[in-house]
Every structure is written in structure tokens, then in C-alpha cells.
Chains A and B, each alone.
Chain A
Amino acid sequence: MDTRKPLPIQRDWVAKSLAGTLLGFGLALCISGLFVRLNPGMALPVKGQLAMWMLPPIWLGTLAGSYFFSSGLRAWLWLGGANLLLAAVLAAISASSGA
């Protein structure tokens, strides 16, 4: 049984806000990129608009959630890792489809 008291949550306002704002936007871009790559059959005007409309909820949802990280460092590591992972997947899909 884990009897340790949970660590106090660090406020880290600047670090968490920046992580949420910058990396949240990166995350939103990656996910919208995946949407575009995974729907090659959809017409560009429609696909592009849907991809644009995805950005605000993903971006601001991530920013709003980023204060749940126990420290600013963890926010940067987790969100940064998620960005790298998704960017790698996106690059792999783009390379394999020759886009």
C-alpha cells in the first residue's frame, strides 16, 4: 500500500500556461494534420475547413487542462512528448503516402 502523502501541486503559472499555449497549439496542429492525411478522399475545401475548426477546441482544451500537471516541468515533458510522438506519426504517414 502506498502510504506516501501526495506531493503538493506546484503552481508554476508561467511554465504551465506556456506549455499549454504553445504545445497545446502544436498538438492541435498535429491532430488536424492527421485528420487531413487520413482523409485523402475528402475535397480540400471541406477538409481544410474541418481541420481549421478542430484547432480551437484541441488547443484551448489542452491549455485548460494543463494546470492539472503536478509541475510545470511535467507539463512540458508530457505535452512535448505527445507533440514529438504525433509529429513522428504524421511524418511517417506523409512519407508513406508520398504526400
Chain B
Amino acid sequence: MLRADFIRIYKAVHTWTGILTGMALFIAFYAGALTVFKEPLARWVAPPALDRPAVPLSAAQPLIVETLRTHPAAARDFTLHLRDAEHLPARMEWQIRPPGGDDHDESGVRHYAASLDAQGAAQVTETHPSRVAAFIDTLHRVVGLPVDNDPNRWVMGLVAALYTLALVSGVIVLLPSLVKDFFALRIGRNLKRMWLDAHNAVGIISLPFHLVMALTAVAFAYHDGFYSVQDALIHGGKWSSAFERQRPTPGAAPARDPAAMLPPLELVARVQALSPGFEPVLLQYQQVTGPRPMVRVWGKDAAAVSPRARGGFAAIDPYSGKLLGSDFLPGLQSTPNLVISSFFALHMAAFGGTLVQWMYFLLGLAGAWLFYSGNLLWIETRRRKAPRQGGELPAQRRDARLLAAGTVGVCLGCVGGISLTLVGGKWLHDHVEDLNAWHWGLYYAAFFASIAWAFRRGAGKAAVELLWAAAALTAAIPVTTLLGWSLPSLGLWAHTSVATLSVDATALAGALALAWMARATSRRVREGAADSVWSAGGG
């Protein structure tokens, strides 16, 4: 039997770890839920492609050879797309990274796309794709900070570690009454009881999901440090030297002729022979003119675990077609590799296909709500009640008022800001020099304006107004598509693939949900208890 002492101690742990991390986790989970559908978002915002109709796959080999002849820098790492989608500007693409940049930092990367003209010559264009989907991913990776770099990841890791403590302590606090309280949703006059029941039910039901997220996030944040400590203390320096050896030698003189490579469709056939369930989507060519040429055939297998969010790959030699490695090929991994891949797949919903993605989307939104409701419970616990026999309303505690305003401002600022920056990707296309700077600017402008508004107006009034604003900005997503389709003179566009129309439909549902919350909150502010930070007069 757990002593009451322990319950009190762990309640304090739960309260303080929760309060410290709740808002950062709201952003991570709201943006993370959307990141599950990163590709549909990128497709929704992408302008109509340059290269339509695309170079057929059968002509992909001349495209590669011609492009590498005129643009040898592409040989380091380029991509050949096997399918057509709105966000793929052409059959062949590559990126040039600024030297010395962080692997996860996409901001300085330049993008190029290649196709063939009527005479069979390579046509290379620099493209400026909207990185809004990657920006939302970054917000989720580093809890709302702007750039995915080491210091920000360390902040995220600290948040994730505290979040782990909050999860364990929350379960310990709930254990003694779990049987009694589980699924007991006491709807009624005692609003705090109802919110607490809901908070507990959502927390317990999604506990495995949250434990996975917390622990994998700690590993994602600190793996570099973990590896170097273990290398020094356990592996005796062999870990880092193993990777030094594998690094390709840069700047080697062209040794191989790309024209001698097997054609892409032949390479794809070799991989499909290995694993019939595997559906290749792109070929990533690396160092094809160097001494260690390699093609990664990336794809997904809905029946298997994918080692990364974008799927898995087989590595083959583009000249001989020989298999170089299947450690990352879904369905063909060794057991230890499968275990490692499952850590990634469980975080990134890279298994089980679209159904699991929707589950993760809903679990992510439920997680965001969990942190929001945690803050609400903290505030409600510290509420000063009016005397029963009437009389003057007591002033609410300053910390409760500030936390209420902060929670409303941060959470709704994140929701509204993401919708705004998505919509901005279409309205500002071709009208601004640096679209991706605008994506940043729009998001943070909405985010900070929302926080300032919440502190100025007080939590109650601001919650209603910011919910309406978030509903309007989210509704602007399908409205933009509708305008693009009905009024072509505006210069907007409307994609009609299932993936992009699903973005519109989900945004419409989200806007309706936000409008419903705005109405409910407005009723609460007007008609609810006056001795509360949420009352119009209280605040």
C-alpha cells in the first residue's frame, strides 16, 4: 500500500514538472500531430510544378547523365522521384547545403530541380520551395523554438526529461484510486472534478504513447552526448573510429562514368525482387562519381516497421546492382536492427500505414489537450472562492491570473500561428523575396501577439477572442483552396489530390471545433462563476 506521504511527494513532483513544461509540450504535441501529415501539408502549399508533364521514368537515365555532365556538383547527393506529387518540382532534384551547417537545420539549403527540354538537354532551375511543413516539424522538435540546433535540442531534452517525471509521478498519484476513478467521468456541477477525471482518463489511456514520446525525445536530444560518453567509458574509442572510417572521402576526382550506371527502373526491380511488399518512392544517389557510389532506394512497406519517418531503404551499387545493405529495408531487418527501428517508428508513426497516422494525429491532439487541462487544474486548485453568503468577490491570485493568461496566449497563439503561416505560403507565393523568412515571421508575429493580447485582456476574454481568431485563421485554409479553384485571377491555386483535399477537410473540421470551443468559452465567461480567473469581471 502506498503511504499517503508518497502520494503527497509525487503530487508535488507532478505539479511542478507539469507546470514547467506544459506550454512547451502543448506546442510540441500540436505541431507534432500536424507533422504526422508533413507530406500532405507540403503538397497543399506547393505551387504548380514547372516540369509537367514530368520526364517519364523511362527517360530518367539520360536526364541523370545530362544533368551530371553540366552540373557535376549534383553527383554528391541527388534524388530521382519515382512518382508525381504536387511538392515534387521535377523528376530529379538536389540540394546544396552550406558548409558547416547543422544537419537538422534546413534554413541555408539551396534547392535545384532538373528536367529535359525538347532537344534532350538538361534544364536546371533553382527552386524555392515553401518549407512550411519543415518549419512546423521544427516547432515540434524543439518545443516552439525557431531553429533545430544543439542548444535548442538540449532545451527540448530537458523538457522531455521533466515530462517523463510528470508522467511517472502522475501515474503514482493516481494509482491508489485508479480502479475507482478510471473511466469515471463525473459530469456535473463540480467542474474541477470533471476536468480532473478527463485529465486522468486521457493520461492513462494514452500513457504508452506518452512514455514512448518522452523517452525517445530524450534520446533524440542527447544522443550525441550519450554516444561520446559511452564511447569513452564502454567502447574504448571504437565507436567514433568506426564512423570515421565509413565517411566518404570528399573531393575525390571523378572516377566513374554515370552513363555506365544501371537505369533507375532496373535498380528498382532489383529491390522489389528482394521484398515484394516494398513500394519504392524515390532513389537517392550518393557519390555516384566517387570511389564509393551508392543508391538508396527509399520506400515504405505498410505491413512492416519503417526505420525512419520517410520509410526505409535498400542500399545498392548503381553500377553493378549489387546489394550493399538491407539494414534499413522494412521487413528484412535483423531483430536487433528492427528493435532500434521500432524506437524511431513508434515516435514517428512509421508503421501500419494511414490508419496509424490518424491514430497518432488524434493521440497528439489529445496530448496537447492533456497539458492544457493540466494547467487549468493548477489554476482551479488555487482559485479563491467568494463567500457563500455573498458579498464582495475576492481578487484571484496573481500567479493564477498570469498562468491562465500565459496558457491561453501560448497555446492559442501556436494554433493560430501555424494556420496563418500555412495560409501565408499560398497568398505570399511569388509576392515576396524570401517566403521562408515570412513563414517564420507570420508564425511568431501571431504567437507573440496572441500572448500579449492574453496578458492585456485577461485570460477569460482573451480565450474567447483568440479562439475565434484561431478558428478564422484555420478556416482560411480551405477558403484559400476554394478561392484558388473559383477565382484563378487571384494567382492562387487549388490541388485536387486526396492528400491535399484531406488537409482542407481536416482544417475545416478544426475550424469548426475551435468555433465550438469559442462559443462554449464565451458562455463560461459570461454565465460561469464570477469568482474565477475565467470570469469576464474576474480576471
Contact = CB atoms under 8 A, between A and B. Distances in A.
B219 A52 contact: yes
A51 B336 contact: no
Interface in A1-40: 6, 8-9, 11, 29, 32-33, 36
A94 to B, nearest CB: 9
B6 A9 contact: yes
A65 B172 CA distance: 10
Chain A interface mostly: helix
Contacts of B242: 44-45
Contacts of B236: 99
Contacts of A45: 242
Contacts of B362: none
B218 A56 contact: yes
A97 to B, nearest CB: 12
Contacts of B336: 42, 46-47, 50
Interface stretch (B183-191, B194-202, B226-234, B402-410): B226-234
A60 B227 CA distance: 17
Interface in B210-245: 214-216, 218-219, 222-223, 226-227, 229-230, 233-236, 238-239, 242
Nearest to A12: B9
A49 B340 contact: yes
B164 A9 contact: no
B13 interface: yes
Contacts, number: 80
Interface in B353-408: none
A36 B235 contact: yes
A30 to B, nearest CB: 9
A29 B229 contact: yes
B309 interface: no
A12 B334 CA distance: 46
B165 A63 contact: yes
Contacts of A9: 3, 5-6, 9
Nearest to B167: A64
B35 interface: no
B535 interface: no
Nearest to B8: A9
Contacts of B164: 56, 60, 64
Given A29-B234, A51-B230, A56 B5 contact: no
Given A44-B235, A46-B337, A50-B336, A60 B230 contact: no
A9 B9 CA distance: 9
A16 B227 CA distance: 26
A67 interface: yes
Contact of A52 (B165, B168, B223, B339): B223
Nearest to B340: A49
B485 interface: no
A8 B226 CA distance: 37
Interface of A: 6, 8-9, 11, 29, 32-33, 36, 42, 44-53, 55-57, 60-61, 63-65, 67-68, 99
7 contacts: A47-B336, A48-B230, A51-B234, A56-B215, A56-B219, A60-B165, A60-B214
